[in-house]
Structure 1
Amino acid sequence: MVGEMLPLGTYIHLAATMSRPNALIYSLVRQFHNQNPQFTVSVAGIHSSAHSMTMAGIIKKAIIGFAGDNYPRPQPNALYSNILKGEPFEVELWSLLTLIQRLQAGAMRLPGFMTNSLLGSDMITDKLGKSVFVYPAPDSTEADPKKLAMVSPLNPDYTLIHAVIGDEDGNLVLTNPSGEGVWGAMAAVKGVIASCERIVPRGSIPAELISIPGTRVIALTEARFGAHPQSLRIMSLPHLEIFKDLSTYLDDYEFQIDANQAAAGEEKQKKRWMEEWVFTPKTHEDYLRYVGSQRLRKLSKFPDPLPLLPDQDPESVNDSEQMIILAARAIIEHVKRRGYTTLLAGIGAAHIACWTAARLLAKENIRVHVMTELGFYSMTPSMGDVFLFSQLHANGSQGLSDITQILGMLVPDKCLGVMGAAEIDWFGNVNSIATSKGKFIVGSGGANDIASTADCIIVAKAIRQRFVRKVNFITSNGDRVKEAVCQFGRFRRDKMEHLFEFTNWIAPPSDPEMEVEEAVLKFTNWFPPDEVPPKEEPKPTSEELTILRSLDPDRIYIEQFMVYRSLPGD
């Protein structure tokens, strides 16, 4: 179907709902892999199965917010090391929210969309006067100049999307949390090409469930498990016949890890993976047979949440665990002092720190709502599943929405952002895009959007090439970054023009005899404390460690050397 509908050279958008259109992506790759790269592709993030498009060489230009691996940890993938130099494709980098705002403008046929994001970031530099225009804010004065940015609309020719169900008229049902939601589909000029778990008779979908009207859909095909290896959540409406025998399925983590490793590997490893999962299966039905019915059934079964572990021995803590516990303490302190009502959890050690802090605050009857950028609100994580965007967490969330509501509406309102960083400098600027040698890291994701409108804490294991005096690229402006937490303490800054000061100290468990000045000079390019000695942090407690280890029983984020895969080229 995809090959028949899409001419070479067209502009395709891949809808970044929680359920990516992977069956359609594979079909696209099979059809065009032996031709010169011709397609412009926009997508919020390229990872796991979407690497197949890059390995097949079908992308001429990519408009993205992220490229790399997001499981088991967010990290660079060697496949994209040189995209800042135009290899293997030309790239246009955006933050997650501004990419969606451009689609919103395109969907509503507006000349642009006003945003709080991008200002103060190096991402804006090559876009000024082209796709980004800067204007004085309405409340700007000579004494207090303020600016707003307007981003230009995005109108793909076609959008590929995977829905829960569709009917014979093409009406589609999506389900929350929905990531980008309907915007990519509604912005498409020539229409939507969709797959879904089931095609149902005309008129059988209740009007209130229709997300995308059939007038936008020019082609629809049935593809069970069409989002695999990503997940899909079925609406909890068992009384409706249209949902009968359909069930939620979860992320196939093993498959995603294999795809990420193949993309980062040698050429023969790439070819082997592509042959096995993309080219040998000629149809989606063939692909599902290769995946195996037993594996698919397993993905449709919800595991029981793990119980809280027995009390853990605080003497066995490692550097990464100590860092996360210090970050949780910092979050708790800021919530109590400044009255934040929500936490925006960035993926990585940051979200484990948010989960830990929320549980500790709950013990004091203080409620803070943990949110994620793809649409989870007031999340209570399912114990044992450490992936931030797991559908298991939907069952423990008070609200489920989308990127626009979370990043655009809730983050600017009494929210504390908690994020990681590939680089952070002593003014709080964060880099997750370019190394000192011009190699690509991962992109902004939602980080720029969070730091643009919310006070922030950065959680990052200190190494000298990460805690730098000046970042190589400003992905997120540091004006609202209040604190940086690492494995041996906390650095704070009270005002935007101030440098970080080292205020809280505890010896790293890997070297308990280390002194304050030695730690700062060994692990950072920042200044050690000058006159006022830092406050001594108490050792992690059994309670803190028990909560942390119960949240991450497989020790994905709390291993001793929890760092980004080596930065490309460094």
Structure 2
Amino acid sequence: MTEPVDFCRLDEAISRYVRPGDAVHVMMGHSRWSALVRELARQHWQKPSEFTLIMASLSSLGAVLFRAGCLKKVVTVYSGDSFPVFTPNPVFQQAYGSGAVEVENWSFLTYIQRLRAAATGVPAVVTGSVRDSSMAENDAYQEVDTAFGRVGLVAPLAPDVTLVHAAVADRQGNLAIAPPMFEGVVGALASRRGVVATVEKVVDDLRPWSTLVRIPAHRVRAVVEAPFGAHPGGVYAGPAGSRLPVQGYLEDVPFWISVREATRGADFDAWLREWVLEPADHDAYLAKLGPERLAELVRAAADAPPPPPRERSGQPPTGAERAAVWLADLVAHRVAETGTDTVLAGAGLANLAAWVGVGRAKAAGHQVALAAELGLWDYTPTPGDPFIFSFHNFPSSAMLLDTEQVLGNLVNGAFLRSIACVGAAQIDRTGDINTTRIDGGPYLVGSGGGNDVITNADEVLVVGTMGRRRFVDKCGYVTSPGRRVRAVVTDLGVLSMRDGELVLTHVAPGPEPLADRVAHVKDRCGWDLAVSPDLEELREVTAADVEELRSYDPHGYFLGRARTPVPTTGSTTER
């Protein structure tokens, strides 16, 4: 018989239900943090607890557990910063590089599928991802011949305990969370000993919101009522008409940025003392944040975002902006030419270009849906906020789903045509992409959902500025195989796939003779780049093109311009 749920304090929840040596799963919904993780670090600070951390996206705050010295291994999808841009983090790089912490890399879908195998009690789950990538060498992946053809299989991944921040619990311990759901709740259902949760509020009865109850009390061990327990993550209370009985609040972007900056400086230990070790409890942490800051996060979640500021109007485009404009052109053209149903973009430059390209395609009458792996389907991006998972994009979505539904059933589904727009830390002459680690060099960030869409989308469009460090003869680590890559758009031209190899098919305009511009592209490439006999010249980038891009990224986080100070609270849009 299931024991009653323990309604307790934060410190009691961790001390009673998390044990040294546990495989601890931190569930990633749209609320990407929990006060429970901070408390876990406090209680196990510099102790040989040897946890295995199962966490899809570490973000900057994952560095707290690394510095706590309590980790043995990490099973993850993404080890890097998320705000204000997606970048490698030196704390993760040092720990993985030195061997202090072992890392096991997966794609988003295979990570979720492994949890699903554990939750459903089957020995393996079929996957269409990671084949022909370096992740196929993981022990938990195998390819087998069956009567139905050759299939890839992933083994179960069963945590001992799952930590989660939910919006609301009832007195029985049922947990309600509004979508989008990111990885969903399969990890919670797969946990051997169950779930420990923080919530914004405990109510008597959740049956009026039964469609948003995700985790049954039978799988929950403890509940802690901790308002703003997702901070610096946020809580979305749900769309109008089905909103949970709780105040939502935006992610605290400046706080995320402060963590990122602290991990890069000598004062990270001071930051940890101030925000993790010294606050005696969650109330002390909130008092340190201050009621004004918290109230602004609530207010900002309820308000429509203001129009973006107009910055650097009239200044010439950067290389990144030129590449993004030409990718937007290509996206709009391919949607029109192929009747593509959906475009999914990776974060950053690829995302901004996809937003512009899909916007143009829709304006021309094409019914194409923007998708985001967090669980957004057919959403409208918010001007002034370049972050792909911005809470401001949730209300405009035609459907709010989870990663498995978006990546597995729609973008990579059997009956919809899709385009993936992505960036690449490295790409080689065959289109293979590396975003995980440099041979003999640093760790990068990992796959995220990149492998899933690059492996399975109908076609892949890549964007990045041209340089020998990015364009290499052969990737030493293959995060995503290049067989679906159609073109790579750069600031100097476009490389297109011809007979299994990328060749120069379009060159950027400029005052220099054509031969000089071609020579410059070849010089910036890490292999002997072939030039198409039908080489074309790209169009000039106009001021209107640049203004359209900058309307989404006014501070230049992804477009490569000088940055203005970050906003004081909430989204990346100033208020």
TM-score by length of 2: 0.90
Residue 279 (structure 2) aligned to one of 250, 260, 281 = 281
Letter of the structure 2 residue corresponding to residue 50 of structure 1:
G
Q: CA deviation at 1:537?
A: 0.9
Q: CA deviation at 1:432?
A: 0.7
2:365 corresponds to which residue?
365
Q: CA deviation at 1:310?
A: 8.0
Per the alignment, in what secondary structure is the counterpart of residue 64 of structure 2?
Answer: helix
* CA distance 1:438–1:318, shift in 2 (3 Å): closer
* CA distance 1:83–1:96, shift in 2 (3 Å): farther
Q: CA deviation at 1:528?
A: 4.2
Instruction: Report whether the alignment pairs 1:191 with 2:194.
Output: yes
Letter of the structure 2 residue corresponding to residue 11 of structure 1:
A
Instruction: Report whether the alignment pairs 1:504 with 2:506.
Output: yes
Residue 18 (structure 1) aligned to one of 30, 33, 43 = 30
Alignment check: 8 A CA contact 1:314 1:541 kept: no
In structure 2, stretches of 5+ residues that fail to align are 1-12, 564-575
Q: CA deviation at 1:388?
A: 0.6
Instruction: Report whether the alignment pairs 1:291 with 2:294.
Output: no
Letter of the structure 1 residue corresponding to residue 342 of structure 2:
T
Alignment check: 8 A CA contact 1:356 1:544 kept: no
1:272 corresponds to which residue?
270
Instruction: Report whether the alignment pairs 1:525 with 2:526.
Output: yes
Residue 132 (structure 1) aligned to one of 120, 141, 153 = 141
Alignment check: 8 A CA contact 2:63 2:92 kept: no
* CA distance 1:528–1:191, shift in 2 (3 Å): closer
Instruction: Report whether the alignment pairs 1:227 with 2:233.
Output: no
Per the alignment, in what secondary structure is the counterpart of residue 483 of structure 1?
Answer: strand
Q: CA deviation at 1:407?
A: 0.9
Letter of the structure 2 residue corresponding to residue 247 of structure 1:
Q
Q: CA deviation at 1:524?
A: 1.3
Could you list the per-position Cα deviations for residues 363-397 of structure 1 after superposition, in whole angstroms to 9, with x for gaps in the alignment?
21223211111101111011111111011110111
> Higher mean Cα deviation, 246-255 or 183-192?
246-255
Aligned length: 545
Residue 88 (structure 1) aligned to one of 100, 109, 115 = 100
Letter of the structure 2 residue corresponding to residue 346 of structure 1:
G
* CA distance 1:136–1:331, shift in 2 (3 Å): farther
Per the alignment, in what secondary structure is the counterpart of residue 288 of structure 2?
Answer: helix
1:414 corresponds to which residue?
417
1:101 corresponds to which residue?
113
The whole-number CA distance in structure 1 between the counterparts of 2:45 and 2:265 is 19
Two-structure CA RMSD over aligned residues (Å): 2.3
The whole-number CA distance in structure 2 between the counterparts of 1:457 and 1:531 is 18
2:453 corresponds to which residue?
450
2:20 corresponds to which residue?
8
The whole-number CA distance in structure 1 between the counterparts of 2:411 and 2:88 is 26
Alignment check: 8 A CA contact 1:507 1:515 kept: no
Per the alignment, in what secondary structure is the counterpart of residue 493 of structure 1?
Answer: strand
Q: CA deviation at 1:276?
A: 0.7
Q: CA deviation at 1:139?
A: 5.6
Residue 200 (structure 1) aligned to one of 198, 203, 210 = 203
Q: CA deviation at 1:4?
A: 2.3
Per the alignment, in what secondary structure is the counterpart of residue 395 of structure 2?
Answer: helix
Alignment check: 8 A CA contact 2:96 2:443 kept: yes
After TM superposition, the runs of 4+ consecutive aligned structure 1 residues lying more than 6 A away are 308-315, 511-514
1:31 corresponds to which residue?
43
> Higher mean Cα deviation, 544-553 or 427-436?
544-553
Q: CA deviation at 1:182?
A: 1.0
Could you list the per-position Cα deviations for residues 300-356 of structure 1 after superposition, in whole angstroms to 9, with x for gaps in the alignment?
223544448889977722211111001111111221222211011101101001101
The whole-number CA distance in structure 2 between the counterparts of 1:420 and 1:431 is 10
Per the alignment, in what secondary structure is the counterpart of residue 164 of structure 1?
Answer: strand
Alignment check: 8 A CA contact 2:50 2:70 kept: yes
* CA distance 1:489–1:167, shift in 2 (3 Å): same
Q: CA deviation at 1:9?
A: 0.9
Q: CA deviation at 1:148?
A: 1.9
The whole-number CA distance in structure 2 between the counterparts of 1:98 and 1:239 is 31
2:572 corresponds to which residue?
none
2:67 corresponds to which residue?
55
* CA distance 1:324–1:137, shift in 2 (3 Å): farther
> Higher mean Cα deviation, 153-162 or 524-533?
524-533
In structure 1, stretches of 5+ residues that fail to align are 141-146, 563-570
Q: CA deviation at 1:239?
A: 8.4
Alignment check: 8 A CA contact 1:312 1:546 kept: no
Q: CA deviation at 1:547?
A: 1.6
2:161 corresponds to which residue?
158
The whole-number CA distance in structure 1 between the counterparts of 2:532 and 2:371 is 39
Could you list the per-position Cα deviations for residues 105-132 of structure 1 after superposition, in whole angstroms to 9, with x for gaps in the alignment?
111111111000110001122x2xx311
Q: CA deviation at 1:203?
A: 5.7
Q: CA deviation at 1:554?
A: 1.4
Q: CA deviation at 1:458?
A: 0.9
Alignment check: 8 A CA contact 1:319 1:508 kept: no
* CA distance 1:307–1:278, shift in 2 (3 Å): closer
Q: CA deviation at 1:540?
A: 1.4
Instruction: Report whether the alignment pairs 1:493 with 2:497.
Output: yes
* CA distance 1:203–1:75, shift in 2 (3 Å): closer
Residue 475 (structure 2) aligned to one of 471, 474, 477 = 471
Letter of the structure 2 residue corresponding to residue 534 of structure 1:
L
1:549 corresponds to which residue?
550
2:133 corresponds to which residue?
121
Alignment check: 8 A CA contact 2:181 2:374 kept: yes
Q: CA deviation at 1:541?
A: 2.7
Could you list the per-position Cα deviations for residues 168-198 of structure 1 after superposition, in whole angstroms to 9, with x for gaps in the alignment?
1110001111101111110001110011100
Alignment check: 8 A CA contact 2:323 2:490 kept: yes
Alignment check: 8 A CA contact 1:164 1:198 kept: yes
Per the alignment, in what secondary structure is the counterpart of residue 215 of structure 2?
Answer: coil
* CA distance 1:23–1:530, shift in 2 (3 Å): closer
Could you list the per-position Cα deviations for residues 483-504 of structure 1 after superposition, in whole angstroms to 9, with x for gaps in the alignment?
1111111110144xx2111111
* CA distance 1:561–1:117, shift in 2 (3 Å): farther
Alignment check: 8 A CA contact 2:378 2:397 kept: yes
Q: How does 1:247-396 map to 2 (within 5 A)?
A: 247-266=247-266, 269-302=267-300, 304-307=304-307, 316-396=316-396
* CA distance 1:53–1:10, shift in 2 (3 Å): same
Q: Quick one: percent identity of the two aligned structures?
A: 31
TM-score by length of 1: 0.91
The whole-number CA distance in structure 1 between the counterparts of 2:268 and 2:510 is 39
Alignment check: 8 A CA contact 1:319 1:560 kept: no
* CA distance 1:186–1:205, shift in 2 (3 Å): farther
* CA distance 1:258–1:373, shift in 2 (3 Å): same
Letter of the structure 1 residue corresponding to residue 200 of structure 2:
E
Per the alignment, in what secondary structure is the counterpart of residue 501 of structure 2?
Answer: coil
Q: CA deviation at 1:10?
A: 1.1
